[in-house]
Amino acid sequence: SYELTQPLSVSVALGQTARITCGGNNIGSKNVHWYQQKPGQAPVLVIYRDSNRPSGIPERFSGSNSGNTATLTISRAQAGDEADYYCQVWDSSTHCVFGTGTKVTVL
Amino acid sequence: QVQLVESGGGLVKPGGSLRLSCAASGFTFSDYYMSWIRQAPGKGLEWVSYISSSGSTIYYADSVKGRFTISRDNAKNSLYLQMNSLRAEDTAVYYCARAKADHVDYWGQGTLVTVSS
């Protein structure tokens, strides 16, 4: 089965850049999607198909995907960006796979 | 605007059954694939099941295959999840989600299912 690995936590200073990685075997050949989940709330799509932002998502959120690692980048981090972030791919055998999740803390 | 409202969660004993419903509005329900995704307390997201727009294609996670059944009624703009032979490890918030081929673009607020004696 296909697995996605994320760091448990990432800390970023207010106004600086946070990078959250998502590792998977040849993930660069797949479409990667990212979700933000704040405490007590449902997840929200922030990046789809590697680097596309849904309407309403700030330009500060960007994504890239190559080789065995996909990355979600949060520029000029704000206190409101504190949340759990999950990557996700669709795999032909495992179907929908979520990453293990990363807790982002803004210091 | 897109709205997905789950219902049917609650407390059930191990081995019991429960049927979740999801009422969709704000979009043409019959045009979209739909999914159920769950999240155990304090844990990450786990995909449960997926159904195509017509209902002709269905997938399940191995953890629920043979116990859960997804279905939809496009005339009623509704998605369902019939859960049988429930186990303690099925305890989770269950989210109804609108799918766009390979990802989810909208999520409901979730309904809590607790399996305990």
Q: What is the per-residue pLDDT across B85-114, written as a single tens digit (0 to 9) for each?
A: 999 999 999 999 999 879 999 999 999 999
Chain B residues at the A interface, defined by Cβ less than 8 Å, are 35, 37, 44-47, 50, 59, 61-62, 95, 100-110
- From B106's Cα to the closest Cα of chain A, the distance in A is 7
Q: What is the per-residue pLDDT across A32-61, written as a single tens digit (0 to 9) for each?
A: 999 999 999 999 999 999 999 999 999 999
Whether B44 and A101 lie within 8 Å, measured CB to CB: yes
pLDDT number for residue A53: 97
* Mean pLDDT for chain B overall: 97
pLDDT number for residue A91: 85
Strands A102-106 and A9-12: parallel
Alpha carbons A28 and A51: distance in angstroms, whole number? 12
